[in-house]
Structure 1
Amino acid sequence: MELRAITTFNLAILVLFLGKWLNQRFPLLRRYNIPEPVSSGLLVCLATWGIYAITGTEISFDLRSRDILLVFFFAGIGLNSDFRSLLAGGLPLVMLIAATVVYMFLQDLTGVGVASLFGLDKPVGILGGTASLIGGHGTAIAWTPTFRDEYGIGNASEIGIACATFGLVLAALMGGPIANILIKRHKLEPKAIEQPDVGLVHNQEHSQIDAYSFLSAWLVLNVSLTLDLGIQEALEEAGLQLPLFVCCLFGAILMTNIIPRILPKLAWSAGSRSLALISDISLGMFLAMSLMSLQLWTLAELAGPILAILGAQFLIAFAFALFVIFRLMGRDYEAAVVCSGFGGISLGSTPTAMANMTAVAKRYGAAHKAFIIVPLVCGFFVDIANAVIIKTFLNWFG
């Protein structure tokens, strides 16, 4: 049974409502910075699994409305970014890229090692490594023909999707606790009290936002998306393929650094509570749809080896964030927020990384640099490096 797109969208609103209520009702969820849509999205996911177990009915969702929410979110992030903050984040960006590439090799080595312990073919470990975790569902599906046709792994698609699915859940639960440990242990706090890039801080949830500021932010976002689509089309004609959300990020950065300087008297939405709220709801709805649509019953047959691989990957990712990423990023509050995002990078996806950081920023305060460098690493450099690393490992296996 597939729920129609409008039904899916309305249910996602209710799921996000529930997540916000759960996080307000149970301080433990806020203490460990669990993203609001994760708190409720996993409950819906488990509920659909229960319905399948009892009645045999498979519930699926029409997710056509989901992807537009993600581009709204990244356009909002870009509109809050000026060139000065980008230049300040130059060296940390390079260092995070380098550390992430090193971690990707470590992730594939871990996957291969655990797969070998279970007597599985070594390429299965790549499916339980960067092909599905850092790469996500899209990369796992894209590489399925190679694993199936060239390496004889007939269930490559199922393994890749299962690892990506469980990894997404672990990533959503890992980032907040990492940041909480670092912030408490090192007594960290933002350098300045500012409006977060996404959402409102918890004690400002009911801050008043007038219709003019909200409509202004919405208009600027839509104009930005028009520019972003033009950028993507121009790049495609030049032979360069980039995800739309990366084009949205770049296009919005260009707008927010050019238009206010050309028209200094124009009221600009960057840094406004309206823009932060739209970004927060967009990301929350996207993640709610992603989690509530997981079909856990399709993964049961592969549970044993996959859980072993993911258990090892979780421990290594957690330790790498705490002891490597935090030190490389400067051992300050921004570094702790980057580490929460790295939890999303390492086992999940770009939206999961951003949701982790959003949960931390809404509790403790803004982390502008983290919200720029993490999506750039996730959405551009990682995809390029991952293709090279997967191919390198597969060549080693002959």
Structure 2
Amino acid sequence: MGSTFHGVIAFALLAALLVVGSLLRSRFSWLRVSLIPGSIVAGVIGFVGLSAGLIPGYGSSDFTALAFHFFTLSFMSLCLTGSPKPAKDEQHQGIVAGGLWLTLIWTASLGAQAVIGYGLMAGYDLITGSDLSPLLGAIVTHGFTQGPGQALTYGTIWENDYGIANAAQVGVIFASLGFVAAFVVGVPAARYFLKRGLNVNHNSTLDDDFVRGFHTPQTQPAAGKQVSHSGTVDSLAWHIGLLGVAYVITYVWLSVMQPLVAGNQVLSVFFSYNLFFIHGLTVCVLMRMAIDRFGWTDKVDDDTLKRITGGSVDFMVVATLMSIQIAVLSALLVPILLIAVAVTLVTFLGAVSIGRLSGQLGPERAVTAFGCCCGSTGSGLLLLRMMDADFSTSVPKELAFFNIAIIVVNIPTLFFIAPIAPSLGTWSYLAIFGGYMVLMLICIPLLLKWQRSRSRQTYSVQEPKSS
């Protein structure tokens, strides 16, 4: 049985490091003040331990697969979670308009980061005489705007199918730097807006539980409801089982489709296991539609699924940081840092500039969008909570709309162009991603006009008639 422990202990290391990282985060004041999540602290400790050889028998490659699968699970459990029904008056609160502003910022950032990364890596090659693929710079957009899972996914495809060396590793490194940028730049920005009273929720404060990282016994919230009797099956096991059903269906679907598309390069990439998350989230969406359609919602607890999503993200972050190979990082340190700094600066300036145009909640949207463009929706929510601690503004609801909208708007680039990007010429790649950025900028005056029109209509409906 000893041979079975290697993978299990790799997962146990992630779990143990999460405990250590969270306790250290709550213990040291400078970590509490920085609001850095315990998962990042844990990941950094794990990365240092692996790089220094302090974890014998394990290397960065042992955690790459774990990062991939926890990313996939986080997406699938999110799609299996039901959406709350919107209130009838939510349209008058500008949720759709606010969600469109967030979508515009994110999509423009996706295009801008790709162009900047591609251009800077090509420029680095020209100046230094290196022979690096410009796509090693362009993958920054998948690491920053989409996170470690998709950076690893696309990087693996580029590496295995198109021969771009170290693409997956560079993607993971950019994703890790994206999380760091979200907090190093985002936290001071949120505090700047707070100090000047520019946020709408003036009663917003960073409560002790948030800063400390743990709830007191008096403030501990509930973590979901048990939908199954423990005498039959534990409720948590039931929900993990639902995800297991979706995982098996997705795996069988891809196994059946791969021989059928073997002769087509584009379809072969699309139906590869590297894009498991795309097919998995589709399966979960269909499963959720069936659950709602046949009235089985009493057998699914959305809060439990949210805990699985959150836990998967935490494990994914730790595994991502531990997947970084120190040799690749040191060899490409200069271009990676150059691109990361440039992308962070442009993304922040773009989020603040466009967010300011979006209306009264501009500062909240700017900080939230920046967090989402440098890590994940979770990063954006964490920064938003600084300015809207009780989530009393409409921005949290706008994020729900945003998570759907960015997938719909970016289907061509994310699902079809990104996987085969190495097969495109330089100008084709830059035209597609740069074109998306320009299109979003063109949409700004159109969105402003539409938002003002909605505001006038709402005002005319609410204005009392004179006697």
Report the TM-score when normalising by structure 2: 0.62
- Which residue matches 1:350? none
Structure 1: distance between partners of 2:180 and 2:306? 23
Question: Structure 1, residues 268-289: CA drift from partner, whole Å, max 9, x if none?
Answer: 412x2x3333322222112212
Structure 1 residues 1-398: aligned runs within 5 Å: 4-51=6-53, 59-60=59-60, 62-63=62-63, 64-78=65-79, 79-82=81-84, 88=96, 91-92=100-101, 95=104, 96-121=106-131, 124-130=133-139, 134=143, 136-144=151-159, 156-158=164-166, 160-161=167-168, 163-184=170-191, 185=193, 186-187=198-199, 189=201, 203=215, 206-207=220-221, 209=223, 212=226, 215-216=234-235, 218-227=237-246, 229-230=248-249, 237=257, 241=270, 243-256=275-288, 259-260=291-292, 262-263=294-295, 266=298, 268-270=300-302, 272=303, 274-324=304-354, 331=362, 333=364, 336-344=367-375, 353-357=376-380, 359-360=382-383, 364=389, 367-370=396-399, 373-374=402-403, 377=406, 381-386=413-418, 391-393=424-426
Deviation at 1:342, TM superposition (A): 0.6
1:176 maps to a residue whose letter is F
Q: How many residues align?
A: 369
Asked whether the equivalents of residues 175 and 343 of structure 1 are also in contact (C-alpha less than 8 Å), the reply is: yes
Secondary structure class of the residue paired with 2:371: helix
2:127 maps to a residue whose letter is L
Which one has a bigger Cα radius of gyration? 2
Deviation at 1:43, TM superposition (A): 1.7
Unaligned runs of 5+ in 2: 144-149, 205-212, 229-233, 262-266, 431-467
Secondary structure class of the residue paired with 1:157: coil
Structure 2: distance between partners of 1:309 and 1:172? 15
Asked whether the equivalents of residues 174 and 340 of structure 2 are also in contact (C-alpha less than 8 Å), the reply is: yes
Asked whether the equivalents of residues 367 and 383 of structure 2 are also in contact (C-alpha less than 8 Å), the reply is: no
Asked whether the equivalents of residues 71 and 245 of structure 1 are also in contact (C-alpha less than 8 Å), the reply is: yes
Structure 1: distance between partners of 2:134 and 2:159? 13
Deviation at 1:40, TM superposition (A): 1.6
Report the TM-score when normalising by structure 1: 0.71
- Which residue matches 1:151? none
Are residues 145 and 262 of structure 1, via their aligned partners in 2, closer, same or farther at CA, if it must alter by over 3 Å? closer
Unaligned runs of 5+ in 1: 149-155, 193-200, 345-352
Asked whether the equivalents of residues 70 and 282 of structure 1 are also in contact (C-alpha less than 8 Å), the reply is: yes
Question: Structure 1, residues 40-73: CA drift from partner, whole Å, max 9, x if none?
Answer: 2112211222238xx9987345345554433332
Deviation at 1:128, TM superposition (A): 1.8
Matched-pair identity in %: 15
